[in-house]
Amino acid sequence: MLNLIIFGPPGAGKGTQSEKLLSKYQLQHISTGDLLRAERSAGTELGNQANEYISKGELVPDTVVIGMVKNFMLSHPEAGGFIFDGFPRTTPQADALDVMLKEFQTGISIVLGLEVDEDELVKRLLLRGQSSGRADDQDESTIRNRFQEYQNKTLPLQGYYQSQGKYHGVNGIGEVEDIFGALCAHIDSL
């Protein structure tokens, strides 16, 4: 079973590259950002709760996100592998993911980190904000807050996976196809 984490700061291209990877490797896609936005569009209590955090550029509480991922995995027992996009984002989420995958008698195969500098990220997110309607992409101070959250809570996971020999960083600036090629080269060398 191939289980990969696509890792990186907000706007690094996790969603963009996940779409390409999941069709090439026949994986089940879990994007916590997409799941949270779907809950919000459906007007569920979880979605309304999550929106309070997302609109301020803060991470949604671990218990909410972990429960959502667990439900998603349990409802896809046929999956040949998962691509985790935007999850885990904190150490408790990473610990919970290890436990969940053990229950599936599997584990994380590889962590692919998209490395992009902050100025480029701000440009990308503001540009997406013009067309996506995503409020968290439209205000620069909310975007900066997302980076702060990333630095404080998510970046430490890079070391967590490096110490397990699973982290591989890739330059996330350039043509989407070239970045995809670099990610595939790491997967194919497993």
Compose the 112-151 pattern: x for residues touching ligand B4P by CB under 6 A, - for all others. ------------x---x-------x---------x-----
Q: How far apart are CA 91 and CA 2, in angstroms?
A: 22
Query: 4, 5, 10, 112: which one contacts ligand B4P (CB under 6 A)?
Result: 10
Question: Whose Cβ is closer to ligand B4P: residue 66's or residue 110's?
Answer: 66
User: Does residue 16 interact with ligand B4P by CB under 6 A?
Assistant: yes
Q: Which stretch binds ligand B4P (CB under 6 A): 57-65, 71-79, 95-103, 104-112?
A: 57-65
Q: How far apart are CA 96 and CA 102, in angstroms?
A: 10
User: Does residue 54 interact with ligand B4P by CB under 6 A?
Assistant: yes
Residues 11, 128 contacting (CB under 8 angstroms): yes
Which residues contribute to the site for ligand B4P (CB under 6 A)? Answer: 8, 10-16, 32-33, 36, 53-54, 59-60, 65, 86-87, 89, 93, 124, 128, 136, 146, 174, 176, 179
